[in-house]
Each structure stands twice: as C-alpha cells, then as structure tokens.
Amino acid sequence: MGKMKNLLLMTLLVLSSFSISAKQILLGPNSNSQEEIQEALIDLEPGDVLTLEPGEYFFEDGISLDVDDVIFEGSGIDDTILHFGDQVSGAQGLLVTSDGVTLRDFAVLDAKGDAIKVIGADGISMIRLRTEWTGGPKETNGAYGFYPVESKDVLIDGCVAIGASDAGIYVGQSQNIIVKNSVAQYNVAGIEIENSYYADVFDNLASHNTGGILVFDLPDLPQQGGHHVRVFRNKAINNDTDNFAPEGNIVGEVPRGTGIIIQANSDVEVFDNDIYGNGTVNLSIVTYGYETDDENYNPHPKSIQIHNNRFGDGGFDPDVGTGELAAILFELSDGDMPDIFWDGILPMNQILFGQPDDERLIISNNGDATFLTLNPIKYLLPFFDPVERDIEEYDGEVRPLPEVILN
C-alpha cells in the first residue's frame, strides 16, 4: 500500500511540474514574423502553446516544428493567415516532424510546395485549418494541402482544402486515421487515402474537384496493401474541375467528373453517402492497371462493400480525353454511363475458380443506382458481349467494418 501511495505521489509531482513549466506564447504580425515564429517553434517545450493573434503573416521560407506534445494555433481559420506567396525556399509551408502535435485555427496560403506536411508523427491533430492556392486551379500550385505521411493516429477535423494540384486532403502510408467535417474543393483529388490502414472518412464535402474521394493503393512504397477504410456520410458531388495535375502524376489519370474511386484496396466500406453531379462516373472500383516490378504488390481490389448510398445524376459529361477510365467506360456502355462501375478484373485463379465469399464485391440498397462490369471470360472470347449490368447479382450480406478509434 505504501509503494502505491509513493507511486501516485510521484505521478502527481511529475504532472504538476509539467503543467507549471508549460507556457503560452502569444505573437502578433510584424515585419519580422518569419524569424519570430520559427524561433518560437524551435524554443517550444512539451506542453507549450504557441498562439498567433489575428492578422496576416508573410513568409519567404518554410517553417518547421520538431517538438513533441505542443499546440500551434491561430485565432481563426479566416483571421490568422500565413502567406507563402513570396516563398523562395522550403518544400512546404509548414513541416511537422514530431509527435502529439495539435495544429488549429489558422490558414496557410499559396505555399511553394505542400501547404502542411507531417512526416512520421505518432499523433497529429489538424483542426479548423485552411489551405488554399488563391490563384485558382493551376498545375504550378503545390501538390498537397494537408499531407500527413508515415504517421499514426491522424485527425483532420473541420478543415478546408482548396486548389491543390494533387490532393487537397491526403493521408498516405499511415494508420489509425479520421478525416471528418472537412471541405475539399477545386483540387485534383479532393480527399485521398493512400496505402493506409484503418481510416474513417465521414461528414465531409468533396465538390468541384476533378475527383471527389480516392481510396488508392500503389506499388513501390514502403507501406502497401491498404485496408479497412470506411467512407460514409459524405457528399461527393458536382466534381467538375478539369484535371490540372502536372504531367506524370498518377492522379493526372483521373477524369474530370469522378465522385469516388477505389483502387487496389481491400476491406473498404462505402455507405450513407450522397453521390451525384459527377459527369464521368459517380463511383468506380478498379484494378491498378500499370506494369510494376513490385512482387509484393496486389493490384486487385477485394472485399469492397457499397451500400445504402444515395445516387443522383452522373455520367452526363464523360471526360474521355483524360486517362483511360472514361474512354473505356464510354465505349463499353455505348454512352449509357452507370452510377457504379467495376472493371471486373480478377487474379487468374479467381477468374477460373471464383472468388472467396469474403472477397466478393457487395452492392446493396443503393436505390435506383445503375451498374456496369465486365465478365473477364467473355471479354477474352470472341462473339460474346462481356458487359453485365445486373446489379442484383452483387447483393449480399454487409459485414460492417470496425470504427476507427484514435489513441
């Protein structure tokens, strides 16, 4: 009993000393903001809070944060503005490389590269932030608005991303992810989850992008085999911006007017979303279609469940000039574009012997949504029409994926 009391006393002493030593730093805009803010970020200690007052702050270099368990905040998403339009060095506006960081209540505008990049964080919260390139969609805009990679316990909540030439909100090679209550507009990809494990994407608006919400898995990356992604209660609507990604980017293959694309992931559940106004196709499930020497990579999506969504107009203006998806689908459908498209490509052993039940595509209770897929055997044989449209064949029991809980 005495040892327990001593342990409790020591814990309280540590906590009290931590709270006593923690400090709050308040800075306002001035002609020396670049140096003042960077110096303050370097001098932070765990528990500290750095607050920027309302105003406009101008930077010629990127700034960085490498201290654990701190808060860097402004005074409002439209009140504290970090301008990087005159940036001459640094690959991003703000770089975070530490754990347990909270960023909130400010905007990052016109960064030379990525707006906010986070690498290798164990715990990162981005709350009520805005990233924007104010000159409209241009391939010279930075690639990513929000860009956490190789991180754990990622929260993006109440954020706005506008004008990124790759993805407005991107989470890659990470695990335990929540993206919620956010808006992505006028980006190439609105929201993208790539090569990641356990992600919940919900209550977001993805509109006026090239593609609204992307769940991708790509080869030749340290973490691959993306799985357990839930996409629900979102609006993937009116994605109608021409693709402005720089040449050579994989996202440059996404046609204008795509609501949701699932590529090469497993265990993805898409439900209770509003998906409409996407001129090429509302929802696509596709295999990674490029050659790769990565022997560990599986290019085929599996265990995908699409249920209880609300589909509206789609496929009314297919972008057949960008990538291959729209042109192929337009030809297969004779211009009668479906709401839901699956390319039907399977590993050869599954083409011959069938898919395991737990890997089958499930499409259930999506109202009057239309569907198109390819029968791979008929596709290989002459004189057969490989196009199949019977959505009822894919009805089945939904196996709900678990909720993501951050540590």
Whether the per-residue pLDDT at 26 is higher than 80: the answer is yes
Whether the per-residue pLDDT at 2 is higher than 80: the answer is no
C-alpha to C-alpha distance for 226 and 228, rounded to whole angstroms: 7
Convert the pLDDT of each residue in 331-387 to its tens digit.
Answer: 999 999 999 999 999 998 998 888 999 999 999 999 999 999 998 888 778 788 899
Q: What's domain 133-394's architecture?
A: 3 Solenoid (2.160)
> What phi and psi values does residue 176 have, to the nearest 5 degrees?
60, 85
Confidence at residue 201, expressed as pLDDT on a 0 to 100 scale: 99
* Tokens encoding 261: 């694309």
Confidence at residue 327, expressed as pLDDT on a 0 to 100 scale: 94
* Tokens encoding 21: 């030593």
- Contact between 339 and 369 under an 8 Å Cβ cutoff? The reply is yes
Convert the pLDDT of each residue in 214-237 to its tens digit.
Answer: 999 999 999 999 999 999 999 999
Confidence at residue 383, expressed as pLDDT on a 0 to 100 scale: 80
Kindly report the average pLDDT of the chain as a whole number: 94
Burial of 357 (0-12, 13-18, 19+ CB in 10 A): exposed
For residue 331, give Cα distances in angstroms to 320, 370, 386, 387.
Answer: 10, 16, 12, 11
Whether the per-residue pLDDT at 292 is higher than 70: the answer is yes
* Tokens encoding 311: 């589909």
Convert the pLDDT of each residue in 138-164 to its tens digit.
Answer: 999 999 999 999 999 999 999 999 999
Confidence at residue 227, expressed as pLDDT on a 0 to 100 scale: 98
Confidence at residue 14, expressed as pLDDT on a 0 to 100 scale: 44
Confidence at residue 380, expressed as pLDDT on a 0 to 100 scale: 76
Confidence at residue 90, expressed as pLDDT on a 0 to 100 scale: 87
pLDDT tier, 17 (very low <50, low <70, confident <90, very high otherwise): very low
C-alpha to C-alpha distance for 277 and 239, rounded to whole angstroms: 7
Whether the per-residue pLDDT at 18 is higher than 50: the answer is no
The pTM for the full model equals: 0.94
Confidence at residue 360, expressed as pLDDT on a 0 to 100 scale: 97
Element (H, E) at 184: strand 183-185
Whether the per-residue pLDDT at 172 is higher than 50: the answer is yes
DSSP 359: G
Confidence at residue 13, expressed as pLDDT on a 0 to 100 scale: 45
